[in-house]
Amino acid sequence: MSRLTKAFVVCSLLQNWLPIVVFGAPPYPPSTVIESIHWHRETLRTAAPGSDLWPVTWGPDGHIYTSWGDGGGFGGTNSDGRVSMGFARIEGPPEKFVAINVNGGKNAQHPASFPKKGKTGGIVSVDGTLYGWLNRQDGPWPDVNQSLIWSDDRGASWQQSSWHWPKGDGNFKPSTFLQFGRDYSGARDDYVYFYGRNQTGWAEGSLGYMGRVYRTKLKTRTDYWFFAGLDNGGTPMWSRDMNKRKPYFTDPAGVEGVQVIYSAAIRRYVLTVHRGDQGTLGIFDAPEPWGPWTTVAYYDNWLKLRGTGIGREMLFINIPTKWIVGDGKTMWAIFTGGQDRFMLIKGTLALGDDAH
């Protein structure tokens, strides 16, 4: 029996008779597709000190696009080139990538569209357009309104929706998009899937929600549908009524910074989530965007960097689908660490008996 299996069994037994939450145990059974991940510490690379968040997507030109908050981006610092939100393009392979600030930041190609306010934790490229969820920063976090933004010129300039997701206790806040291949190629259907959580409340903070919208209708709020659970046959139900939404994922320890990708090579959806900012990371997989989820890894101290300068404020673990290699066993993760900076590391998967 693996250590992960033992932890899950112990957690299940304890939850039957103890009215407490066991934070150190995973919320789902072990994966039989991805048995483990080995992270290669020798490949760890940092850049862009002072800038955080770093959501990624595979753009129409074959490059990776990303966004940062509160800094100068690549080549900048916390003060040099500082903007509230900027956008960059990453070219080349992970071992020797080249990064260019496209919108805002140090020596940017174009002036910042969000110099003073604005953040995003999720961007996606669909049919030549970049989209993102905008935290308007129009109130004390997390009491903020959120909008959709988009760029038709690969990040050079941005537009913003006239509608927004309203702030307020218990209100749904989208935060990220499901990632497929280049410019959303290889998608399972003609919908764009998105994920988020409710604004506040400890209990609500343990639940993840999701929805979908037709890929040509992202700019129209009334065309959004929300996951409303599974019917008796296990088929997902969708509702335009946001109040009928049901969680697709839950973790009593918290659901923060969710990122979801589809690995075509192994035909699995992979979800990353952090439970705080000190290396408490969960990695899960599923056959569908809504589950059922199994646990790949559940770290209390990912990379064992806690207590070091690099290990401070480790957030938002993104796996660029462009950098999933060949048979799917090699991938790279981009994340925030080192008290706000771009970080990159290589991982290799050990696949189980149920891997395709």
In 48-122, which ranges are E strands?
Answer: 52-58, 64-71, 83-91, 98-103
Domain ranges of the chain: 1-30, 36-351
Q: 183-215: string of b/e by CB count within 10 Å (b at 16+)? A: bbeebeeebbbbbbbbbeeeebbbbbbbbbbeb
Tell me if the bond preceding 30 is cis, omega within 30° of 0: no
Interval 232-264: pLDDT, tens: 999 999 999 999 999 999 999 989 899 999 999
The answer, yes or no, to whether residue 282 has pLDDT greater than 70, is yes
Q: Report the distance separating Cα 90 and Cα 241, nearest Å.
A: 38
| 257 within 8 A of 276, measured Cβ to Cβ | no
Interval 291-311: pLDDT, tens: 999 999 999 989 887 777 665
Q: Which amino acid is at 182?
A: R
Please give the average per-residue pLDDT across 103-127, as a whole number.
99
The answer, yes or no, to whether residue 15 has pLDDT greater than 80, is no
Distinct helix (H) and strand (E) counts, the chain: 1, 22
Q: 256-289: string of b/e by CB count within 10 Å (b at 16+)? A: bbbbbbbbebbebbbbbbbbbbbbbbbbbbbeeb
In CATH, what number does 36-351 get? 2.115.10.20
**Residue 312 binned pLDDT confidence (cut-offs 50, 70, 90):** low
The closest alpha carbon to 280, from 250, 294, 301, belongs to 301
Interval 71-97: pLDDT, tens: 999 999 999 999 999 999 999 999 999
Rounded alpha-carbon distances, angstroms, from residue 228 to 176, 243, 262: 18, 9, 22
**Residue 201 binned pLDDT confidence (cut-offs 50, 70, 90):** low
Rounded alpha-carbon distances, angstroms, from residue 282 to 275, 300, 354: 8, 9, 21
Q: Report the distance separating Cα 172 and Cα 119, nearest Å.
A: 17
The answer, yes or no, to whether residue 190 has pLDDT greater than 90, is yes
State both tokens at 352. 């189980």
